[in-house]
Amino acid sequence: MKAKNTFRKNLLVSFAASLAILLISSTASFVSIRNLLDSNELVAHTQQVIHNINEASTRMVEAQTSMRGFLITGRSEFLDQYSNADSEVQDYLEALNSLTGENPVQQKNLADLQLQKDNFFN
């Protein structure tokens, strides 16, 4: 009878230990996955910011090139791309404004960039 109680006690202790290990492992996995998802969101946000910066920069360079092309050749078709670039760059800067709204340093840099863009197109 005593052996039966010892076996039952050992079985319950083993079950409790296994359950505790399972709970700890599940909690650790949940926290790890949550952190991974949060990091993934930050990476996606950063990629959106970089994309908008690169596109705005590309449009500005294209506008400068078009302006030079017009000044050198006098052909008005170069002005079409220049004229369209102002609104395209503005769209990218507005997207950047919404993406970086929580970062005061980036907002200041964006305001400086906006001023330079306005000066160029004026």
Q: Which of 59, 46, 64 is nearest to 106 (CA)?
A: 46
Confidence of residue 84 (pLDDT cuts 50, 70, 90): confident
Q: How far apart (Å, rounded) are the C-alpha atoms in residues 65 and 82?
A: 8
Residue-range definition of the domain harbouring residue 89:
2-121
Q: How far apart (Å, rounded) are the C-alpha atoms in residues 84 and 91?
A: 11
Instruction: Give the dihedral of Cα atoms 50, 54, 60, 66; nearest 10 deg.
Output: -170
Quick: pLDDT tens for 96-107. Answer: 999 998 999 999
- pLDDT reading at 82 higher than 90: no
Average pLDDT over residues 44-60: 95
DSSP state of 25: H
Q: Are 70 and 78 in contact (CB under 8 A)?
A: yes
Strand, helix or coil for residue 100: coil
Quick: pLDDT tens for 5-17. Answer: 788 888 899 999 9
Confidence of residue 122 (pLDDT cuts 50, 70, 90): confident
> In total, how many domains does the chain have?
1
